[in-house]
């Protein structure tokens, strides 16, 4: 018997756009993509080069806050997000603080990745920044050279661009729908489908 997911797959197959993966762009999961980390996920690309790609899942918050997970940041009660299945013992962060955090890497004109943790800790302790200016992740998502391109060819993802305001301030449970909505009308039907089409 034909698998129901395969039967309806044509409804979900992304119409390939002309946006190539690049640092600062996002990957939007197609509706039937399954997995603990990637179902209805939106991933911000932080690296994309000849070695492969890396990114952070933006919409999978944990029940822990930063102070409960990171000894170095005892006064930070912001939520911490599950960035992906690799480097799960690493802390990553994105922010809008620019040169206030030395050694930050620009992802766009107003969004940055990483930087000096001691400076960030000092700014947090002094109350000079708020939770809307920085987001923390444990773990990341990684692709070896050519792997992401293969997944794009399989229509697992659509590449898009989101504003920094959308990335930093949209509620996690609404981010995938928001990102899909910004793709335009030809993707709008995605929002109304269940995560699985397996029928009894």
Mean pLDDT for the stretch of residues 75-86: 91
Cα separation values, 11 from 31, 59, 85, 159, Å: 10, 24, 29, 18
How many helices (H) and strands (E) are present in the chain, helices listed first?
Answer: 6, 10
Q: Tell me which CATH code domain 25-185 carries.
A: 3.40.1740.10
Q: How confident is the model at residue 76 (pLDDT cuts 50, 70, 90)?
A: confident
Q: Is the pLDDT of residue 46 over 90?
A: yes
pLDDT at 141: 97
Among residues of the chain, what percentage have pLDDT more than 90?
64
Q: Is the pLDDT of residue 119 over 90?
A: yes
Strand partners, 82: 138
pLDDT at 199: 46
pLDDT at 15: 60
Q: Which of 32-41, 68-77, 151-160 has the lowest mean pLDDT?
A: 68-77
pLDDT at 16: 63
The reported pTM is 0.89
Q: Which of 6-10, 39-43, 100-104 has the lowest mean pLDDT?
A: 6-10
């Amino acid at each position: 018997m034909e698998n129901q997911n395969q039967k309806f797959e044509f409804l979900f197959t992304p119409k390939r756009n002309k946006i190539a993966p690049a640092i600062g762009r996002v990957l939007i999961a197609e509706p039937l993509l399954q997995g603990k980390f990637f179902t209805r996920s939106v991933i911000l690309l932080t690296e994309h080069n000849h070695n492969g790609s890396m990114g952070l899942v933006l919409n999978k918050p944990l029940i822990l806050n930063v102070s409960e997970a990171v000894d170095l940041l005892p006064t930070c009660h912001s939520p911490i997000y599950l960035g992906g299945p690799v480097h799960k013992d690493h802390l990553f962060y994105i922010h809008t603080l620019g040169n206030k955090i030395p050694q930050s890497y620009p992802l766009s004109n107003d969004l940055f990745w990483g930087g000096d943790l001691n400076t960030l800790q000092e700014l947090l302790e002094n109350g000079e920044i708020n939770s809307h200016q920085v987001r923390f992740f444990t773990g990341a998502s990684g692709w070896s050279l050519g792997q992401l391109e293969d997944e794009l060819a399989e229509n697992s993802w659509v590449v898009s661009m989101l504003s920094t305001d959308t990335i930093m301030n949209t509620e996690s449970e609404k981010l995938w729908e928001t990102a899909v909505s910004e793709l335009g009308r030809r993707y709008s039907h995605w929002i109304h489908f269940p995560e699985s089409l397996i029928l009894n």
